[in-house]
Amino acid sequence: MIKQQAVNSKFKLDLILKITQAINENLSVDDLLKQYENILFNDLKIGKIAVFKFNSSWETLLISGIANGLIDQIKIESDLANYDEITYISSDFPEHLRSFDFLIPVFHKNSVLAYILIGDLDEEMEGMSPAIRHLTFIQTISNIIIVAMENKRMHKQLLAQEAIKKEMELASKIQNLLIPNQSSLPQNKYISSQGYYQPHFEIGGDYYDFINFNDQELGFCIGDVSGKGIPAALIMSNFQATLRALFNPDTPLDELMNKLNQKVCESSSDEKFLTLFIGVYNYTTRKLRYVNASHHPPILYNFKTKETTHLKKGCIGLGMLDEIPIISVGEICIQDHSKLLCFTDGLIELEKGDKMEIGMQLISNLFSNNKKLNDTFLDLTRHIELGKKNKAVVDDISLFGIEFKA
């Protein structure tokens, strides 16, 4: 008896050594699975094997010695999920499980990682059934191999996530190159400017730009693609290239909007559209021509009269229809010392519980005063940082301001 126990112990230790060596050799998941099947089927003489593993959902990991169609009848949640210890499959179990002898759960960090059904192919075998003789050992080696497979899967997933993270960081750097930094914003005897850009994720669908056409004319715009993340960023980067190619002082703004709308329709899906505010300012005449394509109206504040004007004239958003039915080009003469704020909706939409709080009045109050543009932007960015701290920011945020000097 003692000799037989020693033989059994050595046998089991040899199998564990074989499994450990396979894991240390960094075998693939498929090779580990073959090793596992070989141990159960050939070394332990288990005739029927079914292994179900959880990986976001239950999947069949291994089937051996089982009639076709039987596995399809097994429902993990209703048939197996209530068992947390090795269980003999009695006549109380559903009929499609009675061809097995035992149900063995496999745990990892207090959670069930897998269920194993085992049984003997030859029901007339003499002596104690291998399924009964090796129950605890089967649970042990199953735990070792299935956890090793899970670790491999998680490591592979981690590597993929790291690769995606690096790609997103690169994409973020590239997108940031498309947004003017503070040193490149126009600063001259006619105007000064400030900008702020913060995507909700690494990359986003907001965009603003300044283009110095010549010594007398400045073009600028701000846009927002519906949605967030990679799809919005791809549409916006494509739009930026298109805008740069088409935007010039000789092309009337209504004609430009039709061309841009056509390009957006060609490059985006039906559910994606883009809001845009675009303007051309002449330093000499002090005239600003603009089109607002369903964007939040920029705020123009006059230091002398303390009046606030919202620049609303324009058309529907780009990509909403194949053709824009009506385009109204706005024109305003900025005679006095004034400042202009252009922004995307992330600045004014803050999450509060399960509702969206519209902070347009707050933004207007922060901007519509006689503070210099630099000081105004400090107030606005404090508002944004407070929203980020309170986890209330739910969208990309972009804004820029222009101070028209007297």
* Range with the poorest average pLDDT among 29-33, 73-77, 117-121, 217-221: 117-121
The average pLDDT across 348-354 equals: 56
Question: Which residues, in sequence order, are bridge partners of residue 274?
Answer: 225, 318
CB 47 within 8 A of CB 122: yes
Most trustworthy range by pLDDT among 111-120, 228-237, 244-253, 380-389: 244-253
What's the angle, vertex CA 176, arms to CA 175 and CA 180, rounded to 5? 120
The answer to whether residue 352 scores a pLDDT higher than 80 is: no
Which position has the higher pLDDT, 358 or 3? 358
Residue 378 has pLDDT above 90, yes or no: yes
* 144-191 pLDDT per residue, tens: 888 887 787 777 777 777 776 776 666 666 666 678 888 889 999 999
Measured in whole angstroms, the distance separating CA 367 from the mean position of its chain's CA atoms is 33
What confidence score (pLDDT) does residue 129 get?
55
Tell me what pLDDT residue 201 has.
65
Quote the pLDDT of residue 131.
53
**pLDDT of the residue at 251:** 95
Q: What is the pLDDT of residue 212?
A: 95
What stretch of H or E contains 280? strand 274-282
Residue 125: pLDDT above 70? Answer: no
| Assigned token pair, 29 | 């998941």
Whether the per-residue pLDDT at 248 is higher than 90: the answer is: yes
Answer whether residue 3 shows pLDDT above 60. no
Percent of the chain with pLDDT over 90: 35
DSSP 8-state code for residue 158 = H
Q: What is the pLDDT of residue 172?
A: 62
CB 175 within 8 A of CB 160: no
What is the tens place of the pLDDT at every residue in 329-339?
Answer: 999 999 899 99
Q: For residues 124 and 110, give the distance between their C-alpha atoms in angstroms, rounded to a whole number.
A: 38
Q: Which of 133-147, 168-182, 315-329 has the highest mean pLDDT?
A: 315-329
Residue of 193 and 38 predicted with greater confidence: 193
In this predicted structure, what is the pLDDT of residue 283?
Answer: 96
Confidence of residue 234 (pLDDT cuts 50, 70, 90): confident
Q: What is the structure's pLDDT at 126?
A: 46
Cα(105)–Cα(87) distance, integer angstroms = 9
The predicted-structure confidence for 276-290, as pLDDT tens digits, reads as follows 999 999 999 999 999
Lowest mean pLDDT among 138-142, 236-240, 356-360: 356-360
Mean pLDDT across the chain: 83
Give the predicted TM-score (pTM) of the model. 0.64
Round to whole Å and give the CA distance between 28 and 22. 9
Q: Residue 49's pLDDT is what? A: 86
